Amino acid sequence: MGIFKIETGDITTYHVDAIANAANCSLLGGGGVDEAIHRAAGPGLLNECRALGGCETGQAKITKGYQLPAKYVLHTPGPVWNGGAFGEAELLKSCYENCIRLAHENGCRTVAFPSISTGIYGYPLEQAAEIAVKTIYEGLEKYPDIEEIIMVCFSERVEKAYKKVCYDSAG
């Protein structure tokens, strides 16, 4: 089974087979990590995204990475936090599941994720981290060809939240 790592960093600099993008349903760019990925990838990414016809919340679509060091981008619109009674947890889980499945289908061995939905979309960090960590471990178990999944945190606060989930679940 592959390994899971939690690091602080900028996902646009990661030399991995695929990075995930916390996108919106238009797949045409936005703020946060989405903006950083489009800026670093260059205009080829937006061109390819235009042809995808958007993406539903919780689903994922793959493109090339263009000028990014990563070969592919897994675009996934996370749920907007609405209090928790609108299927947010299932949708967030499905973002990670669909990205990992797509990575596997495209022969990726190394994958990096940002903390989906916990920025502009307002998902409570601790709850999102629990779902992300659990679903990533399930993906590593399901697809032994994936060697490494990295959660790339943009701040120490985010890194701490993810590490806490790992320590707590390790008992």
DSSP string, 81-107: PSSS-SSHHHHHHHHHHHHHHHHHHTT
* 110 lies in the site for ligand AR6, by CB under 6 A: no
Share in percent of the chain as helix, strand, coil (round to 5): 40, 20, 40
* 45 lies in the site for ligand AR6, by CB under 6 A: no
Residue 5 CB, shortest distance to ligand AR6, in Å, is: 14
- C-alpha angle with apex 14: 10 to 18, nearest 5 degrees? 115
Nearer to ligand AR6, 72 or 121 (CB): 121
* 140 lies in the site for ligand AR6, by CB under 6 A: no
* 63 lies in the site for ligand AR6, by CB under 6 A: no
* 12 lies in the site for ligand AR6, by CB under 6 A: yes
* 78 lies in the site for ligand AR6, by CB under 6 A: yes
- Residue 34 is among the residues annotated as catalytic for this protein: yes
- Could you give the CA distance from residue 122 to residue 109 in angstroms, rounded to a whole number? 30
Answer whether 119's CB lies under 8 Å from 33's CB.
Answer: yes
Q: Which stretch binds ligand AR6 (CB under 6 A): 43-51, 56-64, 110-118, 136-144?
A: 110-118
* 56 lies in the site for ligand AR6, by CB under 6 A: no
Answer whether 135's CB lies under 8 Å from 93's CB.
Answer: yes
Q: Which of 10, 17, 34, 145 is catalytic?
A: 34
10 Å CB burial of residue 53 (0-12, 13-18, 19+) is exposed
Query: Binding residues for ligand AR6, per CB under 6 A?
Result: 10-12, 22-24, 30-34, 36, 78, 114-121, 152, 154, 158
